[in-house]
Amino acid sequence: MSKKRAFITGITGQDGSYLAEFLLSQGYEVFGLVRRTSTLNFERVRHIQEQITLVSGDMLDQTSLTRTLKDIQPDEVYNLAAQSFVQTSWQQPVFTGDVTALGVTRLLDAIMTVNPKIRFYQASSSEMFGKVQEVPQKESTPFYPRSPYGVAKVYGHWITVNYRESYGLHATSGILFNHESPRRGLEFVTRKVTHHAARIKLGLANELRIGNLDSQRDWGFAGDYVKAMWLMLQQDTPDDYVIATGQTNSVERLLDVAFSCVDLNWKNYTVQDERFMRPAEVDLLVGDPSKAGKNLGWEPNVTFEQLIQMMVEADLQHLKAENRP
């Protein structure tokens, strides 16, 4: 029997790299979309580059998406590409809408043109709940996005549902709460904190400038969450699922846990800085993953404390290797 083929947009990102590893372990042939850049940014997939095929294209370019699907003829498409940093979405609202919202329609349309039997996963986000209308948030909770990014993701969610209902596509929206890892971008708060805790411990920095300490997030491990994406596409009937741990922690607690890992008190090193405050904040997110537990048999394996410890240890190791004389 020939191998199943998966196409991943956003393969060079945090989730793309974990999903590619997972699909390879399931025996898939894995293809990924990459943007042309003057300097290569394949660090997260370098260790598997020989086992995957990277194809050039862009979520802004319809032709590249349709042509790629025609060439590859995938069974499953995972749309992880996005301008994914909430803060940047206020500086680049139109670009964020183009990639993160309209990009979804471009890809769905390419599927319609090439083969409507292709199964489709859309990377939706807990940021759609924004100013939350109920606690915890579940699939039926109304959306109230609080940033251009959140608004773009609401569009991506509904266009996925719309193509499913209009054309009968096997299209699924996974509403994932924050998930992190040692491969998380340095601009996101967990990695920023673990990286700085490690730098300060090693004497490479002496302060961490940070924004709102009170916001609360439901943080899980990216390696656990990519499995849920795959499980969703293995179901006979497409549906939408919340993926979360069900636990929430504040940024202040994140600081506590990360700095404790290196035996330091965060209060001695942290400075609050207006530049990291947002025009509108999402104060509290906590998801109810019970539908995913029941229908997909999915549950998270890594706790918040284990996750932060894993990230601090990885940062210490990287920094020691980088700074070895």
Specify the residue, 260 or 278, whose C-beta has the smaller distance to ligand NDP.
278
115 in Cβ contact with 43 (< 8 Å): no
Residues that bind ligand NDP (CB under 6 A): 9-10, 12-16, 33, 35, 41, 58-60, 80-84, 99, 123, 125, 176, 178-179, 185
Among this protein's residues, is 127 annotated catalytic?
yes
Q: In angstroms, give the least distance from the CB of 288 to ligand NDP.
A: 16
Q: In angstroms, give the least distance from the CB of 153 to ligand GDR.
A: 7
Give the dihedral sign, CA 307/315/44/46.
Answer: negative
Q: Name the token pair of 17.
A: 């790299």
- Which one of ligand NDP, ligand GDR, none interacts with residue 83, CB within 5 to 8 A by kind? ligand NDP
Specify the residue, 123 or 262, whose C-beta has the smaller distance to ligand NDP.
123
Which residue in this structure is represented by tokens 């008190």? Answer: 265
- Which one of ligand NDP, ligand GDR, none interacts with residue 210, CB within 5 to 8 A by kind? ligand GDR
Q: HSE on the CB side for 239, CA within 13 Å? A: 15
Among this protein's residues, is 125 annotated catalytic?
yes
Q: In angstroms, give the least distance from the CB of 35 to ligand GDR.
A: 17
| 29 contacts: CB under 8 Å, gap ≥ 6 | 3, 4, 5, 6, 53
The bridge status of strand 216-217 relative to strand 5-9 is unpaired
Specify the residue, 215 or 269, whose C-beta has the smaller distance to ligand NDP.
215
Specify the residue, 10 or 130, whose C-beta has the smaller distance to ligand NDP.
10
- Which one of ligand GDR, ligand NDP, none interacts with residue 187, CB within 5 to 8 A by kind? ligand GDR
Q: Which member of 28, 127, 225, 269 is catalytic?
A: 127
Q: In angstroms, give the least distance from the CB of 212 to ligand GDR.
A: 4
- Which one of ligand NDP, ligand GDR, none interacts with residue 168, CB within 5 to 8 A by kind? none
Distance CA 218, CA 208 (A): 22
Q: In angstroms, give the least distance from the CB of 119 to ligand NDP.
A: 17
Among this protein's residues, is 78 annotated catalytic?
no
Estimate the crossing angle of helix 222-233 against helix 14-25, to 10 degrees: 60
Q: How far is CA 211 from CA 201, 216, 231, 236, 262, in A?
A: 21, 13, 36, 44, 22
Q: Which member of 84, 124, 125, 126 is catalytic?
A: 125
Residues that bind ligand GDR (CB under 6 A): 84, 86, 125-127, 177-178, 187-189, 192, 210-212, 215, 217, 251, 276, 278, 281-282
Distance CA 270, CA 266 (A): 6
Q: What angle do CA 98, 177, 271 make, to 5 degrees?
A: 90
Specify the residue, 18 or 31, whose C-beta has the smaller distance to ligand GDR.
18
Q: How many CB atoms lie under 10 A from the CB of residue 203?
A: 8
Q: Which member of 149, 163, 241, 269 is catalytic?
A: 149
Q: In angstroms, give the least distance from the CB of 136 to ligand NDP.
A: 16
Q: How far is CA 102 from CA 107, 175, 181, in A?
A: 9, 18, 28
Specify the residue, 13 or 74, whose C-beta has the smaller distance to ligand GDR.
13
Residues assigned a catalytic role: 125, 127, 149
